[in-house]
Amino acid sequence: MNEAPSSRADNGLFWRVEEACRAAWPAESETVVDGWLLRRSGGQTRRTNSVNPLPGRRGAGPELFDAAEAHYRRHGQVPIFRVTDFAPDLSRELHRRGYSVQAQTLALKARFDRPGDWPADGVRLSEAPERDWMELRDRLAVDPTIFRDMVARIRHPKAFAFARAEGRTVAIAFGVVVNGLLVVESVATHPNFRGRGLARRVVGALMNWAWRRDAAGACLQVLADNEPALAAYAALGFDAELYRYHYRFAPDP
């Protein structure tokens, strides 16, 4: 896999991907504090319950930490900062304050440099998640009610892909096209049907769909140690690592 260039020259692309991923997974509330975005939805999802960098000037003083920590504590949540490797402004101070590191994640990109003919045999698409789609997602993940509310907030074109076997839905994913870029989310396969290439097919169906909507490429976020997922995505052309990020969790007060 190609790593992101060490010079970080293409920050414009990185911020574009950040914006697209936020739009594809919108938070219930967002508050800007000193150049940082405080996202909150409740539940256990880190992405929509963390402090995220915004482009431009960003503060790094005690006022930022006081505001962020008070914001999340007020809602009974642990303060979390999401730290990207192209905007690592707070890393040293977070370490000094005793924030722990979790969930090293990669942002990957695939270019659409061929017609939309990615393998997608037996995969169907819908404009909204059908009952079986949601049942599988609920079984394999947490916060089902919060997830449903999040999906309802998406304001960009979206599609839900699913593959069926033995009379039930066994693989799912959804995609959102934001400013010509497909964001792939919630890729999951029932444990009894893994290893059959189903994840590649549901993602391939979303890539075909996005191609028809004139998307120029696709991006996704995946845990750095998820080797099976990385192999599946590489086979679909997600071979460019844009950047990495991780989460920093506040210590007990």
Residue 70: what residue type? A
Cα distances (angstroms) measured from residue 231 to each of 34, 97, 117, 195, 224: 39, 37, 19, 11, 12
CATH superfamily of domain region 110-243: Gcn5-related N-acetyltransferase (GNAT) (3.40.630.30)
Q: What is the pLDDT of residues 75-129, one digit of tens each?
A: 999 999 999 999 999 999 999 999 999 989 999 999 997 776 888 899 999 999 9
Helix spans in the chain (H): 11-24, 62-74, 91-96, 131-140, 144-153, 198-212, 227-235
Q: What is the pLDDT of residues 182-194, one digit of tens each?
A: 999 999 999 999 9
* Domain positions in the chain: 11-106+245-249, 110-243
Residue 179: what residue type? N
Give the pLDDT band (50/70/90) at residue 5: very low
Model pTM? 0.91
